[in-house]
Structure 1
Amino acid sequence: MTATTAAPTSTSATPRHLWTRTRGLLLALVVLIAGGIALAALHSDSQHGSLDPRSADQYGSRAVAQLLKGQGVSTRVVTTLDEATAAAGPDTTLLITVPDLLTESQQRRLRAAADSGGRTVLIAPGSASLDVLAPGVRAERPALVEPREPGCAQGAALRAGRADTGGIRYAARDENSGGCYPAGGLPTLLTVPAEAQGDTVLLGAPDILFNHRLDEEGNASLALQLLGTRHHLVWYLPSLDDASATDGGRRSFFDLIPSGWRWATLQLALAAGLAAVWRARRLGPLVTEHLPVAIRASEATEGRARLYRKANARDRAAAHLRAAARSRLAPLLGVAASAAHSPDVLVPAVSARLPAAGHDPLSLLFGPTPANDTALVRLADELDALEREVRTS
């Protein structure tokens, strides 16, 4: 017996069908890759990241480092906890860019180093780091970053005036803590004095340190006064590659995920929802499709009738019945096909052919929608009877 190859049917996937289905995804992928390449090209001259004093990018902090250098303040960039704690001292300002990225053991070591009498500046610390690095301070819901008045009597804030502040707001139990630039009644810049000497400054948002915002409002003055009170500035950029991050026991899965994963998950969920809406089946105009097998007309008619009945679409069923009857009656009555659906032409022709008939041609051929299924069946029978009478007359 020889093997036979099945003929392709309309349901078989052809290269044209595959291209039609996947071209949207391929186009989106190409746009995504092109956007990534463009962004990489735009930032190819930037060797460092955000809040890095070596970066000339708009979100870098090279400008403030250069201004501090002009005032005699040396800036040293460190990326490990050992370097940061070793450089801390009474004549040093320790700036921690991402305190929430640190583990609890790292935070405790930094807290011990901060007690040496210097200044510690925390950029946007949240609940994950305040309990250790700034005990007695609670983080509240963030506020929009915008120009704000000092709203306090501290000399640094008064000399700087309006500045682009906001972000996380803070509430302190210590009455000696000085809060400035309030938003909604809570400060976005908080200075917490140490038990001995030195202090800890909490800055709700890093915007005053960015290169592209340093020349706006009093941002430069405020940044220089916060970071230039000591002769040395240690700029600590926490890194996930720091070996000290594994000290103090095992970390949970969520501790290993970089900050912002919740926002990324929300974005992915939104993208998946939009893709589902885009690819979902939608109601639209009917299209013809070549069936793989021959189907009898009676079966197709019965199938369509069942669909109409399921949808309770008596109006469409009646309209199709009447339209088909008018199309068949028109050539029998000598009416042009273009006028077959005009009551002013077709009804007089029917009345002239059957003057004594008991039918009302206008109501039968152009009447209202049947009120129920029984009336719909009666309409179909009356249309058939009318057509038979016209053929035999």
Structure 2
Amino acid sequence: MTAVDQAATGTSTAETRPRRVRTIVGWLIVVALVLLVAFVALRVSASGPGARGTLDPEGRDDSGALALAEILRDQGVEVSVVRSRTEARAAVGDDTTLVMTNPYTLSDDALTELLEPADRIVFLSSGTHLLNVLDIGENAPGSSAPTDAGCDVPEFAEVGTIRADRFFSPADGVEGCFGDADGAAVLVDDGADRDVLVVEGTKLFSNAYLAENGNAALALALLGQTERVVWYVPSFSDTDIEGQSPDTLGSLTPPWVTPVILLLFTAGIAAAVWRGQRFGPLVAETLPVTVRASETMHGRARLTAKAGDAPHAGEALRDGAQRRLARRLGLAVHAGADEVADAASDRLRIPRGTLQALLAGPLPADDAALVELARRLDELEAAVEASTHTTRGEP
């Protein structure tokens, strides 16, 4: 080999090594960025929302009920906040009101055991299942216009008017107040053993709306009739319902599969780094025409648009969204709109009437209404999906 060849070979080797080093460094940077993004995503998903929930007597945010608890204390009512059903049952005594929001985390037996020693019970929010368990009434339509008591319950005489968000149809023997012939905002079951009162107070009694209309007066009429109030706060940490996780691909996969996949992935990266410098430059090549699978979807959409059948399209969108929401909320696939609205309202801490109108209200009559319905359903699914990831990430 001549000196010129040796010099050329040395130069080529010297030029190749820096390029290979730069390639390896580039791959390392890519891997580091992927790991950084994954770490940030895990941290964000694991960070939960506020420490207090809707109508929590110690909650200071807009959805909490600390203002109501303080008003009761100012009126001389002893307010005891408990977060265990065992402690709540033990704390109930004479001249005591047991208060709670919809106890969706308790089974029917646990709820019956909790309510057994109480003489006066007030539910500040409710769901379809709770109404059936109490046999006190059912959901009903109503107007959001201001309404007064309109009943013979003495403590409601000086309340004034309220703007209710949800209405009920009282069962036989149950008196309805603050409503009309179609529905009442407050149900009063004045039984022989105990008094049970149900109201949808998620918006009425929260810190943000307590000062409006007669909301504070209604709260005092409901909770200020006894010397003591035992305020039970339901939570998943105090539930007696044993959830059963469905079989997933991870649970059905043998334990040796994951290490093998990781090993193959590592080997593939190593092979790409090893052989990456031996390929020549990229060559542009004309590829055959491919038909995307999404064309079928677009074709059906064009047929529906051409037919101008907005109600049928809206019904299809709503049915699909309801099934997906039921699966994400842990309900049966064929759960009704009322059950899905109840579960989503409890999960997202928003008024149940809004979700009921979205999932079971009138179908869109034109394209503009159809687009608005699709947008709102998509926002609801995204919010439920985000809250599901947040709940799983909580300790």
Q: TM-score, normalised by structure 1?
A: 0.50
Higher relative CO (CA 8 A, sep ≥ 6), structure 1 or 2?
Answer: 2
Q: Rg: which structure is higher?
A: 1
Q: TM-score, normalised by structure 2?
A: 0.49
Larger proportion of strand: 1
